[in-house]
C-alpha cells in the first residue's frame, strides 16, 4: 500500500514538474481547451432533452424525464422512415457520383506542367466553394427556371421549356452536379497536398522503366494517396445520415418536397413549421448522430480489415 502511494506521489510530482517545465505550451493550449469545453462539451448536456418532455417554463434541466417515450413516437412516424430512406439514397448517390471527382480533379491538376496555368485552374475550381448555397440557388433560379436564361434560349430555338427545378426526377441529379461544381476544387486541395508529399524519385524510376503518364498515375500516384482516400471515404461514411441541409433547403421547393425531405429537413419541419416539440426533434438528432458514429466506426473497421489502413492508422501500427 505504501509503495502504491509512493508511486502515485512520484507520478503526480513528475507530471507537475513536466507541466511547469512546458508551461508556455500548456498556456497556448489553454484557450483551445476552454473553447472546446464551453462550446463543444457543455452543450452536449442539452442532449438530455431527448429523454425529457420539454417545458419552456422549466427549462432543459428542469423538464421531467420521460425515458425513451420520444424515441417510441419517432419510430411510429412514417415520415421519419421516409426521410431516412431519402437521406440514404441521396448520400449514397453522393458517394457514387460526387466523391470521386475531387480525386480525379487533383490527378488532372497534378499533370499540368505550366505553373501559371495550374494556379489559374486551381483558383477557378476553388472559388465556388466560397459561395453560399443561398447564392448558388439564386444563380440556378436565374439560369434554369421556366423563364430563366437557359429556357429563354430553348424557347428561342422553338422547343418547349424544360422544368429543371420543379421536376422530382431532376432534383437529385441537380444536387450532385451543383455539389461537384461547388466543392470539388476545395476538396481536391487535400489530395493535391498528399500528392505533393510523394517522393519524386518514384516518378523518375517509373519514367526510366518506360511507364507512361497514365501508368505513373496508376502505379505511383494512386497507391501513395490511397491512405488519404481511405480516410476521406471513412469520414464521408460518417456523414451518410447528414445530407447537406443548406443545399437541400435552398434548392428544394413544394414540387419536389417528397424527394427532398431528408432527415435534416424533417427535423427542421417538425421543429419550426409544425407544432413545436423540441424533445421530439432532439431525439431524432441524437438518433442521427449515433447512426453516423456507428457508420463511421463500421467503415473504419471494414476498411482496416480489407486494406490494412483506417482512420487511426494502419493495423500494423496498432
Whichever domain contains 78, its CATH number is: 1.10.3720.10
Q: Helical H runs in the chain?
A: 2-21, 23-36, 59-62, 69-74, 78-93, 100-110, 115-126, 133-144, 149-156, 168-196, 200-208, 213-216, 222-237, 245-251, 257-260, 263-268, 278-307
Residue 139 cell numbers, joined? 444563380
Is there a single domain that holds both residue 3 and residue 30? yes
CA 311 to chain CA mean position, Å = 15
Give domain status of residue 4, yes or no.
yes
The answer to whether position 65 is within a domain reads: no
Q: Identify whether residues 217 and 265 lie together within a single domain.
A: yes
Give how many domains the chain has, as a whole number: 2
State how far the Cα of 187 lies from the Cα of 219, in Å rounded to an integer: 23
Based on the fold, state whether residues 234 and 187 are members of the same structural domain. Answer: yes
Rounded to whole angstroms, the Cα distance separating 195 from 274 reads 50
Domain of 9 in residue numbering reads as 1-51
SS3 310: strand
3-class DSSP assignment, residue 266:
helix
Query: Which residues are CB-neighbours of 92 under 8 A, at least 6 positions away?
Result: 240
296 in the same domain as 265: yes
* Per-residue pLDDT, 141: 85
Same domain, 216 and 293: yes
CA distances from 249 to 173, 174, 175 (A): 15, 13, 11
- Domain presence at residue 59: no
End-to-end CA distance of the chain: 34
Residue 176 covered by a domain: yes
pLDDT at position 107 is 92
Q: Does 163 lie in the same domain as 125?
A: yes
With beta carbons less than 8 A apart as the criterion, state whether 264 and 195 touch. no
Exposed, middle or buried: residue 40 (CB in 10 Å: 0-12, 13-18, 19+)? Answer: exposed
In a domain, 178, yes or no: yes
Query: Both 9 and 77 in a single domain?
Result: no
Rounded Cα distance between 318 and 316, Å, is: 5
Specify if 62 maps to a domain: no
pLDDT in tens, the chain (318 residues): 555 555 666 777 888 888 888 888 889 989 989 998 998 888 888 888 888 888 878 888 888 888 888 888 888 888 899 999 999 999 999 999 999 999 999 999 988 888 889 899 999 999 999 999 999 988 888 888 888 888 888 888 888 888 888 888 889 999 999 999 999 999 999 999 999 888 888 888 888 888 888 888 888 999 999 888 988 888 888 888 887 888 999 988 888 888 888 998 988 888 887 777 788 888 888 888 888 888 888 888 887 777 666 666 655 555
Q: Do 131 and 14 belong together in one domain?
A: no
Is residue 167 domain-shared with residue 195, that is, in the same domain? yes
Interhelix angle for 222-237 vs 278-307, to 10°? 150
Amino acid at each position: 500500500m505504501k509503495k502504491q502511494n509512493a508511486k502515485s506521489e512520484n507520478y503526480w510530482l513528475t507530471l507537475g514538474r513536466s507541466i511547469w517545465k512546458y508551461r508556455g505550451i500548456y498556456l497556448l493550449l489553454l484557450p483551445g481547451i476552454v473553447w472546446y469545453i464551453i462550446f463543444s462539451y457543455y452543450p452536449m448536456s442539452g442532449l438530455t432533452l431527448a429523454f425529457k418532455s420539454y417545458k419552456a417554463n422549466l427549462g432543459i434541466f428542469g423538464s421531467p424525464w420521460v425515458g425513451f417515450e420520444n424515441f417510441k413516437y419517432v419510430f411510429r412516424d412514417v415520415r421519419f422512415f421516409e426521410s431516412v430512406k431519402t437521406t440514404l439514397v441521396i448520400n449514397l448517390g453522393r458517394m457514387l457520383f460526387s466523391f470521386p471527382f475531387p480525386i480525379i480533379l487533383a490527378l488532372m491538376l497534378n499533370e499540368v506542367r505550366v505553373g501559371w496555368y495550374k494556379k489559374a485552374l486551381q483558383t477557378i475550381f476553388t472559388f465556388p466553394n466560397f459561395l453560399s448555397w443561398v447564392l448558388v440557388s439564386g444563380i440556378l433560379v436565374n439560369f434554369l427556371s421556366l423563364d430563366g436564361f437557359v429556357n429563354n434560349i430553348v424557347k428561342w430555338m422553338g422547343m418547349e421549356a424544360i422544368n429543371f427545378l420543379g421536376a422530382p426526377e431532376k432534383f437529385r441529379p441537380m444536387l450532385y452536379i451543383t455539389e461537384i461544381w461547388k466543392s470539388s476544387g476545395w476538396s481536391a486541395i487535400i489530395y493535391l497536398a498528399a500528392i505533393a508529399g510523394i517522393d519524386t524519385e518514384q516518378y523518375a524510376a517509373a519514367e526510366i522503366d518506360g511507364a507512361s503518364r497514365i501508368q505513373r498515375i496508376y502505379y505511383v500516384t494512386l497507391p501513395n494517396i490511397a491512405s488519404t482516400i481511405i480516410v476521406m471515404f471513412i469520414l464521408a461514411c460518417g456523414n451518410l445520415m447528414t445530407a447537406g441541409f443548406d443545399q437541400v433547403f435552398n434548392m428544394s421547393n413544394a414540387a419536389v418536397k417528397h424527394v427532398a425531405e431528408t432527415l435534416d429537413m424533417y427535423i427542421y419541419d417538425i421543429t419550426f413549421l409544425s407544432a413545436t416539440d423540441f424533445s421530439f426533434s432532439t431525439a431524432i438528432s441524437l438518433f442521427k448522430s449515433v447512426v453516423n458514429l456507428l457508420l463511421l466506426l463500421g467503415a473504419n473497421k471494414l476498411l482496416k480489415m480489407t486494406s490494412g489502413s483506417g482512420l487511426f492508422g494502419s493495423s500494423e501500427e496498432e
